[in-house]
C-alpha cells in the first residue's frame, strides 16, 4: 500500500530543516492518502521537495516524528538494526556500558524510545505510538546486537508509565516483556554498589544521567563534611562517602528513597559515615542554618521544578530559593554543586538565577566547572529537547 504524503505549509519545518526530528500539527498543510496512526508517511516541503519519512499520530501535537531524511529508505529490520548498532557502538566508545542508557530517543534517531541497561536487564520506555508498535522488534534486535559482544539479557521490564503517553493517545503501562524475573538488580557505578528496583524506582529505576557528575564530586568531597539534598537513593552521598568524606548527610522527602539509600550505604560498608534522613529539604535547610550548622560541600539535585514553558517563572523562584538556602550552609571556601534537570530551565536562565541567589546571600562564586548529562544521554544539536541537565560546581566565598 502506498504511503500517505504529508505536505508542510510554506515557511514551516524550520526545526526539521535545522536537524530536528519533530513536525507539529500546525506546520502541516495537507495529508494525501490513507493511513492509520502510527504508520510511516512521506514528508514533502511546500514546494514538493521530499524531506524524508517518519511516523504520524493525529492524537499528538507532535504530529510526525522523523526516522530518516532519505525518502528511499525502507523502515525495515535492517534499518532498525543499523540504528541500534550505531547507538551501542557509540556507548562502547564514550561510557562505561555495564549500566547505561543504550537508546535515548531522538538523540539516537529512534524517536520516542528509551532503553536502559542495568547489567543483564533491559528497561524499556516507549513514549510515541509509532515506536510503541515497534518496541518488541527493537528489543529483539538489541538483544542480538548485545549477544554479539557476549552480553546475554536475562530479562526485560517495561516502564511506559509516564503521563506524556496520554498525549499520544496511549495508556500508561508497566510490566514484564517476556518471562518474569527478579526486578532488583545490583549495579556498580564509579566504584559504588547500588540495588536498583526497576519495577518501583523512579523513571526506569535509577538516574544514569548523573554518572560522571557524581564521579566529579568524589574529588571535591574527600576529607569533607557533606550535605546531599534530594538524595533519592543516596547516589551523590555514597560517592562522597566512598571518596573519603568524613561525614555525609543525605536528605529526601521520600521514605522509600531513604530506605533504599540506607540499604545502599550498608551495601558499601559506609553506614558509619553516610547517614540519611527523611525531610522536606526546603524546610530542613533553614532549620539547619538556624542551628548554626555548616558544611564543606552542599549538593543540590532537585527534581525538575518545571515540565512546561508556562511554569518556568515559578520554577525560577524555586531554583533561586533552594540555591539561597543551600549557599547559606556552605562554609567560607567550601563548595556548592547545583543543578537543574528541566529542559525549560536553560543554562543561561539557571546561571542568572544562581547569580541572583549568590547576590541575595552575599556570597561570591568561583566556578569550578560546568557539566551536562552523561554521554549515554547525548545532546543532539537542533533537537533542543535532548538537552536538559545542567550541573555547576562552585567554590563559595563570603563577601569579606
Query: How confident is the model over 140-183, as pLDDT tens digits?
Result: 999 999 999 999 999 999 999 999 999 999 999 999 999 999 99
Would you tell me the crossing angle of helices 77-94 and 135-147 to the nearest 10 degrees? 50
Query: How confident is the model over 268-284, as pLDDT tens digits?
Result: 999 999 999 999 999 99
Q: Give residue 46's pLDDT.
A: 95
- In this predicted structure, the answer to whether residue 382 has a pLDDT above a threshold of 90 is no
Contact residues for 185 (Cβ-Cβ < 8 A; gap 6+) = 118, 119, 121, 195, 196, 198, 205
Burial class (CB in 10 A: 0-12, 13-18, 19+), 181: middle
Q: Give residue 308's pLDDT.
A: 61
Count other Cβ atoms within 10 Å, centred on residue 273.
17
Annotation says 100 is catalytic = no
The residues with which 7 forms a beta bridge, in sequence order, are 30, 44
Confidence tier at 315 by pLDDT (50, 70, 90): confident
List the catalytic residue out of 100, 145, 229, 341.
341
Contact residues for 348 (Cβ-Cβ < 8 A; gap 6+) = none
Three cell numbers written together for 165: 503517553
Domains of the chain with bracketed CATH: 5-68 (2.30.130.10), 77-185 (3.30.750.80), 207-398 (3.40.50.150)
| Residue 312, phi then psi, degrees to nearest 5 | -65, -35
Query: What's the predicted TM-score (pTM) here?
Result: 0.94
Three cell numbers written together for 107: 538523540
Query: How confident is the model over 84-135, as pLDDT tens digits?
Result: 999 999 999 999 999 999 999 999 999 999 999 999 999 999 999 999 999 9
Three cell numbers written together for 254: 521520600
Three cell numbers written together for 311: 511554569
Amino acid at each position: 500500500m502506498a504511503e500517505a504524503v504529508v505536505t508542510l505549509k510554506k515557511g514551516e519545518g524550520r526545526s526539521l530543516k535545522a536537524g530536528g526530528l519533530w513536525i507539529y500539527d500546525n506546520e502541516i498543510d495537507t495529508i494525501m492518502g490513507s493511513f492509520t496512526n502510527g504508520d510511516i508517511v512521506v514528508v514533502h516541503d511546500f514546494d514538493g521537495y521530499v524531506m524524508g519519512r517518519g511516523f504520524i499520530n493525529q492524537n499528538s501535537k507532535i504530529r510526525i516524528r522523523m526516522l530518516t531524511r532519505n525518502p528511499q529508505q525502507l523502515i525495515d529490520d535492517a534499518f532498525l538494526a543499523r540504528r541500534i548498532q550505531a547507538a551501542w557502538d557509540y556507548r562502547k566508545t564514550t561510557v562505561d556500558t555495564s549500566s547505561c542508557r543504550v537508546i535515548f530517543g531522538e538523540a539516537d534517531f529512534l524517536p520516542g524510545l528509551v532503553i536502559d541497561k542495568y547489567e543483564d536487564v533491559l528497561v524499556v520506555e516507549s513514549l510515541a505510538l509509532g515506536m510503541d508498535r515497534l518496541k518488541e522488534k527493537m528489543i529483539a534486535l538489541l538483544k542480538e546486537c548485545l549477544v554479539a559482544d557476549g552480553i546475554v539479557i536475562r530479562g526485560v521490564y517495561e516502564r511506559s508509565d509516564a503521563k506524556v503517553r496520554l498525549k499520544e493517545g496511549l495508556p500508561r503501562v508497566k510490566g514484564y516483556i517476556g518471562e518474569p524475573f527478579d526486578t532488583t538488580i545490583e549495579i556498580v557505578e564509579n566504584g559504588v554498589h547500588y540495588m536498583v528496583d526497576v519495577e518501583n524506582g523512579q523513571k526506569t529505576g535509577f538516574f544514569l544521567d548523573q554518572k560522571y557528575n557524581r564521579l566529579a564530586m568524589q574529588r571535591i568531597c574527600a576529607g569533607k563534611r557533606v550535605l546531599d539534598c534530594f538524595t533519592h537513593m543516596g547516589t551523590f552521598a555514597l560517592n562522597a562517602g566512598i571518596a573519603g568524606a568524613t561525614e555525609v548527610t543525605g536528605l529526601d522527602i521520600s521514605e522509600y528513597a531513604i530506605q533504599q539509600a540506607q540499604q545502599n550505604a550498608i551495601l558499601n560498608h559506609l553506614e558509619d559515615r553516610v547517614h540519611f534522613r527523611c525531610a522536606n529539604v526546603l524546610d530542613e535547610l533553614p532549620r539547619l542554618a538556624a542551628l548554626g550548622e555548616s558544611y564543606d560541600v552542599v549538593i543540590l539535585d532537585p527534581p525538575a521544578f518545571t515540565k512546561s514553558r508556562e511554569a518556568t517563572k515559578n520554577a525560577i523562584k524555586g531554583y533561586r530559593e533552594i540555591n539561597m538556602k543551600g549557599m547559606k550552609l556552605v562554609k567560607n571556601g567550601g563548595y556548592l554543586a547545583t543543578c537543574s534537570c528541566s529542559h525549560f530551565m536553560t543554562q543561561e536562565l539557571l546561571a542568572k538565577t544562581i547569580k541572583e541567589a549568590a547576590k541575595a546571600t552575599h556570597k561570591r562564586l568561583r566556578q569550578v566547572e560546568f557539566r551536562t548529562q552523561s554521554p549515554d544521554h547525548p545532546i543532539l544539536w537542533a533537537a533542543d529537547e535532548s538537552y536538559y541537565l545542567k550541573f555547576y560546581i562552585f567554590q563559595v566565598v563570603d563577601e569579606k
